[in-house]
Chains A and B, each alone.
Chain A
Amino acid sequence: MDLAANVAPVGAPAVPGNRGIWVGILCEMSEFALMFLAWAWFRHGHPEDFRAGPAMLNAGAGVANTAVMLTSGYFAVRALLAIRRDDAIAARNWLVAALLGGLTFLLIKALEFRWNIEHGVVGTGNSFVAMYYYLTFNHLVHVVWGCLGLIWAILRAQFGAYGAADHEGLEAAVLYWHATDLAWIVIFPLLYVLH
């Protein structure tokens, strides 16, 4: 049975998850679109700050966090594939792995912020650094929301709420996690790569 069809009007194309989570995802993507416009605006106005900016950052932390986000997203996909074949235990385990990825992202980000402070990368007097904290703090908040969603899905999976025929909540949590991944796919090159 196609669960998405249950929440879509008759004749409308089915969407993964449910319509509510897509409202949230599109709001998040719009919010980040405005931040990317702000990045372009400030980059145009302060080219010297942005040309020198990426070299000020810990590129290794940026690469590591990108790999962690993508890997965590892969684990989330495996959770969805597991529940579709009605393997709730495997789905829960993959969700736990995805959550550990999210927590690792937060840990690396905390270590990166500490490294920044030790190396004088603080958000005063430099447009690039201000934009770096603006983008990364906002993304970090969305990672925390995503982790909370994964925790909720793990608890529901643990208590047998999901199966092959009914896993809309799990799919919604996974979709939100991927949306957070999408934002980081853009943020990483804007801050760590483009000189």
Chain B
Amino acid sequence: MKKDQNKNLPIDATDRVASGGLLSRRLFLNSAVATTAALATTRAAYGQEIVGEGQEDWTLYPGSDALEYGERSRFEAERVKKFVPPITEANQAFYDLRTTNASSLTPHQHLMGTITPSGLHFSVTHHGVPDIDPDKHAVVIHGMVKNPLKFDINALENYPTITREYFLECSGNSGVLWGETARDVQLDRMHGLVSGSQWTGIKLSTLLDECGVSPDAKWIIAEGADSGSLSRSIPIDKALKDSMIAIAQNGERLMPQQGYPMRLFNPGFEGNTSIKWLRSLYVSDKPVMSRFETSRYTDRMPDGKALQFSLEIDVKSMITRPSNAMSLPKHGLYEVTGLAWSGRGKIAKVEVSVDGGKTWAEAALEGPVHSIMLTRFRIPWMWDGGSAILQSRATDEFGRVQPAREKLIAARGRRPSYHFHGIQSWGVDTEGKIKHVYA
């Protein structure tokens, strides 16, 4: 039997901002909503008993010592990344063979705020994670430059750094949504190839200035030191605008999975262009047409052509709670929250619908809103126990609106594999179970 868990909420008609129970985003700011049950004070007079009677052990006994590097509570051990493909007994041997091409997915259903902890940042590797000795690693900048230069991590650390919050997304994120049927995959398997971090590095333009770049330069070919020497061509205008060589993530040096000791970071571009374990930047007047910009990471269109250098991440959003990693135990008041991002700039607006897109209400954005960074949105929702379809729709500062899935497919077909950014739907049934649906 379901109960209304917030019977006494003072909600009037003006709080209802769209059908299906969506409430004004201002409602949670109202102190009347933040009802706190009065704590029952049932302490009896214990007489001769010790005063700690009834306390938990961790209150009664001294805890463990400090650690050189902190770790999470053992009760959080299951809040980790999943792998692509899922490892099963049947494919274990095969997986062992191809661990060099592994993806791990950020579990957004467990996360709050907008910064992804470094250890939960998604990672895609095509040739495994190299174990680089920073004393033997350096990046060279060469080609159409006056002075080819070499920088190791100690040299880079001497430069004035910039620190920015940026999201990073693999262009394959949400790719399952190109499919014809709505596959039953959880939030992290669907949208786990996007994360947000604070990145610290040296602006690439600073180093390029020291090298003296030819005015005829049009591209920079970046190569990594992994066992595939992964490479991509970066347009020179991007490199001079806001690319950086990142040396730290969330305040500490990069993790090996994120490119230790140095990686290229191209804000707002598809993830694989931000070459990890960076060791060469060749300034050129033409792209190199590497494997990863021809046979991979090109988007097939319905007319048989494929888009190449589809580099910028489009405006996009996802609802992380409620999502299909959980269910709604009883009807009543919930918060619909999620993340929105755009590779071009700031998120200007996120709208939420609980009736499959018939009506929309504007969600509150949790500030400060950073350019090219995850932005959290939230809106209260009074679930009446009926079936519902939850959707979110983001708009960026340039007025680009996240498209409906069917409109995206109408324009680009079903074959692109990459850059899915349409609206995604969570279907809620009368039992409170949540499923990925096409709506």
Please say whether chains A and B are actual partners in one complex.
no
Point out residues on A near B: beta carbons under 8 Å: none
Point out residues on B near A: beta carbons under 8 Å: none
